[in-house]
Amino acid sequence: MRLPLVLALPLPGVLAWGNLGHQTIAHLASTLIHPSTTTWAQTILNDTSEAYLATISTWADTYRRTAEGAFSAPFHYIDANDDPPRSCGVDFERDCLGEGCVVSAIANYTRRVMAQDVLPAKEVDYALRWIVHFVGDITQPLHDEAVEIGGNGINVTFSGRKTNLHASWDTAIPEQLRGGYTLADAKAWAENLTAELAPRGKFGRVKEGWVKGMNVDDPKETAMIWAKDGNSFVCDTVIPEGVEGVEGEELFPAYYEGVVDVVEMQIAKGGYRLAKWLDGIAESVEGKKGMKGMKKDGPGPKAPGKGKGPGPKRSVEESVEEEWDLSGRDLLPEGAGVRGLLSPAQRRREAVLGSGDCGCRH
């Protein structure tokens, strides 16, 4: 049995999936995407290095802890108000209240990237960074669960180190599996997972199911498919005996050995989905550019929202803003953002921790 890594290494900062998980997902995606997608993404990020996705994969966690980025804290999770282990499930209308959630965020920043011709370069850059991060977040089951603030309130130990269940899934379990948490460790893990995604690898026959129903033109529905998938593991794997089954317990080695295969699969799933998602976005963007360059008979389509009369002249940006509320507010359930309509989990989060960004590992 491998000796527990956490006895020898310092725990990294409070990050969803930890540096190792997010950087592995990003590295894996960068090896799987089409070369034209690589060029497209590197141009947006102004980075032609091999690690162009991995190096920005944890930016969203850093940014949300700044005054400027505090608004984005709720975008890292969706609080599924279900009843594990008896029943698990995500309901968008019930669970994505407040200022938004990871589902609405993936949808919003996807369409912002797809509107790159009319948005400032910085906004497109930020949107791509969020997509890279949130597609990783949504595969972590406790980012799709409300119970005990996504497991942050479930106290456990890992190899004698006091921690919580969410932190164990984010960092302790992946780092124990791989024996490190550096960018080099992430690259090595991604290389191993690339082999496992090959036809004869352990994920070769199941990977296409991970992107079933994926549609970049309906990002909210796609993100809901992913959230429901992640949430399903809460009942089956994360807390199959309920909170009482893990509260105050030592997770290494018995619990670790029971869940580590799922953790690795979710990392592989995040990288594979991210690659397919970025390919889809890039293809859509390039397709729209091609359509703009085509000559057509007749006057062509009207600007978004334009009536029959000539009306006042508007910029392309104003036309797009009229067609799409790029703040993402239109993606939220009716009443979202109204304090009295917060979900039970969100009210508890505010009551216990006193702010929208609780400092949890969500």
Q: Which residue ranges of the chain lie beneath pLDDT 70?
A: 1-16, 289-327, 330, 334-362
Token pair of 2 as six digits: 């491998």
Q: What is the pLDDT of residue 314?
A: 42
34 is catalytic: no
What are the pLDDT digits (tens) for 297-331? Answer: 433 333 333 333 344 444 444 444 455 555 577 67
| Residue 19 belongs to domain spanning | 5-289+313-353
What pLDDT score does 333 carry? 73
Long-range Cβ pairs for the range 300-305 (8 Å, 24+): none
Dist CA 63 CA 69 (whole Å): 5
Cα distance between residue 159 and residue 7, in whole Å: 7
Closest CA to 345 of 155, 163, 142: 142
| Cβ 108 vs Cβ 326: under 8 Å | yes
Which of 112, 129, 133, 361 does the annotation list as catalytic? 133
- Catalytic residue list contains 279: no
Which residue out of 111, 129, 166, 362 is catalytically annotated?
Answer: 166
pLDDT at residue 98, rounded to an integer:
82
Q: Is 273 a catalytic site residue? A: no
Catalytic residue selected from 82, 170, 185, 229:
170
pLDDT of the residue at 356: 46
- Given the residues 76, 112, 349, 361, the one annotated as active site: 76
Q: Is residue 304 part of a domain?
A: no
Does residue 19 lie within any of the structural domains? yes
In a domain, 305, yes or no: no
Q: How many residues does the chain have?
A: 362
Each residue of 54-81: b (16+ CB within 10 Å) or e?
bbbbbbbbebbeeeebeebbbbbbbbbb
**How many domains does the chain contain in total?**
1
The CATH number of the domain where 35 resides is what?
1.10.575.10
Q: Is residue 55 part of a domain?
A: yes
As a 3-state breakdown, the chain gives helix, strand, coil percent values, each rounded to 5, of 55, 5, 40
Cβ atoms of residues 361 and 170 within 8 Å: yes
Catalytic choice (64, 178, 273, 349) = 64
Count of beta carbons in the 10 Å neighbourhood of residue 172: 25
Distance CA 96, CA 90 (A): 9
The answer to whether residue 295 is domain-embedded is no
Residue 133, domain member (yes or no): yes
In this structure, are strands 155-158 and 161-164 parallel, antiparallel, or unpaired?
antiparallel
| Dihedral angle, C-alpha 147, 20, 158, 360, nearest 10 ° | -40
Choosing from 137, 144, 185, 279, the catalytic residue is 137
Is 130 catalytic? The answer is no
The whole-model pTM stands at: 0.85
- Residue 166: active-site member: yes
Q: Using CA of residue 151, residue 157, residue 163, residue 167, what is the dihedral sign?
A: negative
Give residue for tokens 């995606």: 29
User: Of 61, 95, 125, 144, which one is the catalytic site residue?
Assistant: 61
- pLDDT at residue 166 in the model: 97
Phi-psi region at 78: left, alpha or beta (left = phi > 0; alpha = psi -120 to 50): beta
> Could you tell me where the beta strands, DSSP code E, fall in the chain?
155-158, 161-164
Asked if residue 302 belongs to a domain, the reply is no
Q: Is 76 a catalytic residue?
A: yes
Compute the distance between CA of residue 235 and CA of residue 35 in angstroms, rounded to an integer: 39
For 268, counting Cβ atoms within 10 Å of its Cβ (0-12 exposed, 13-18 middle, 19+ buried), the class is buried
91 given a catalytic annotation: no
**Known catalytic residue: 362?**
no
Residue of 129, 143, 361, 362 with catalytic role = 143
Q: Is 190 within a domain?
A: yes
